[in-house]
Amino acid sequence: MSATIQFLGAAGTVTGSRHLVTLGSERLLIDCGLFQGHKVLRLRNWAQAPFAAKDIHAVLLTHAHLDHSGYLPLLMQQGFAGRVHTSSATADLCALLLPDSGHIQEEDAAFANRHGFSKHHPALPLYTKEHALQSLKQLRPHPMHQVFEPMKGCRAHFRPAGHILGASSILLELGGRKVLFSGDLGRSQDALMHPPERPPEANTVVIESTYGDRLHEPVSMEVELAQALRRVAARGGVAVVPVFAVGRAQAVLHAVANLKASDQIPRSLPIFLDSPMAINATDMLSAHPEDHRLAPWQVRALENVATMVRTPEQSKALGRHHGPMVILAASGMATGGRVLHHLGLYLKDHRNMVILTGFQAGGTRGARLAAGEKTLRLHGQDVPVHAEVVQLNSASAHADANELVQWLGQMPSPPDQVYVVHGEPAASDALRSRIEHELGWRAVVPEHLSTWPV
């Protein structure tokens, strides 16, 4: 019996990761993510799913970031009743990310209704915090490398992929074939995370290509960050740092702790972490020491380097502080949450700074800032951008093009087929070309909704 993969997301774009694997009448999803960025992509979150949720037997998550997990509450609402298989740390992080996602969507809808800038009356959340909490009951965590059977005729296990806590590659064995899903691969020399584990033998590989057409700068994030923070501190400005609550927030705090300890930035420079989810995710470092490089004292140092801002009232009070100071707030691409309010306050002043710390998907506010746009749409208003915008080229948690090719090149034998996903079109096609020319393997960039054999 032959199996197929249908690419329902992260095909031709870098978000919305969803891959439908079919073996006879059995179906499972690898990842169940939200689309982010351009409106045409975000509308897919609201559209009818191209499958019947009740017919899905299981979901396997590569990791907890919302572009891989954030559609789960909707899937449950549509009738999915199976199990969601994850690594241990991914289950813990989903318990933070998914309810927070629902809460933010409720808050954004309420804000839009109060201020009347939504085209929909009333504006509604995609799902609620309660929907997200209900979805957590279906999570089933597994240790790395432990084999389990997510559906009839299929064996699977998780393999460490670096990137963030719990991030995994997934190996499926079904229909006499082995299919390897890379998930989001981390960097070989990441300051926090271990490198991705060497890939096993597989007939088919599905690989991410976020940075498939570029290389990371050889300079360290600490060097780039120190230069930026010294500038903004010297002019008494405020640095707003949009961060992914899971991964980037902890990496930036670790870098800031090292920079203060070595007197590369003023020890008196106030740092605020304005994200309850990021605060809780930081605590996860102690709960999962096997997933990262940091010693206990290093974890304590990054926890102590910032003032933790938990309540909305504390967040609003930051607006009454004067610079210099640094505010880390979710989300990493400025798509929602508290960071939007800080941007609204501080973008207008040339003394201030916005520091972008990761990949900015097309169509997001982060991408518009990185492109140098002079105004930014925030809560229905066009806000002028006078603050300095700094893109840290060394801060990504994704493997770059060389690291992706090197990871593939460690496979014990060539696969029959490679599918290149989770990248903008130019990045995916560049990686496809390198795989074909440097490794001599068959590679294709699948189109959205296309179906291919495994």
Minimal CA–CA distance to 76: which of 128, 21, 131?
131
33 phi-psi bin (left φ>0, alpha ψ -120 to 50, beta other): beta
Report the alpha-carbon distance of residue 346 to residue 349 in Å, rounded: 6
Report the alpha-carbon distance of residue 210 to residue 161 in Å, rounded: 15
Residues of the chain with CATH 3.40.50.10890: 221-391
Q: According to the model, what pLDDT value does residue 58 have?
A: 98
Report the alpha-carbon distance of residue 161 to residue 193 in Å, rounded: 9
pLDDT 10s per residue in the chain (454 long)? Answer: 789 999 999 999 999 999 999 999 999 999 999 998 888 998 899 998 889 999 999 999 999 999 999 999 999 999 999 999 999 999 999 999 999 889 888 887 887 788 766 666 788 889 999 999 999 999 999 999 999 999 999 999 999 999 999 999 999 999 899 999 999 999 998 989 999 999 999 999 999 999 999 998 888 889 999 999 999 999 999 999 999 888 889 999 999 999 999 999 999 999 999 998 899 998 899 999 999 999 999 999 999 999 999 999 999 999 888 889 999 998 888 888 889 999 999 999 999 999 999 888 888 899 999 999 999 998 888 999 999 999 988 888 899 999 999 999 999 999 999 999 999 999 999 999 999 999 999 999 999 999 999 9
The conformation of residue 34, written as its DSSP 8-state character, comes to: P
The conformation of residue 395, written as its DSSP 8-state character, comes to: -
Q: Which two tokens stand for residue 32?
A: 């169940």
Residues of the chain with CATH 3.60.15.10: 3-214+397-453
Q: According to the model, what pLDDT value does residue 120 have?
A: 65
Q: According to the model, what pLDDT value does residue 235 have?
A: 96
Q: Check if the beta carbon of residue 329 is closer than 8 Å to that of residue 337.
A: yes
Q: According to the model, what pLDDT value does residue 246 have?
A: 87
CATH 3.60.15.10 for domain 3-214+397-453, yes or no, is yes
CATH 3.30.450.20 for domain 221-391, yes or no, is no
The conformation of residue 449, written as its DSSP 8-state character, comes to: T
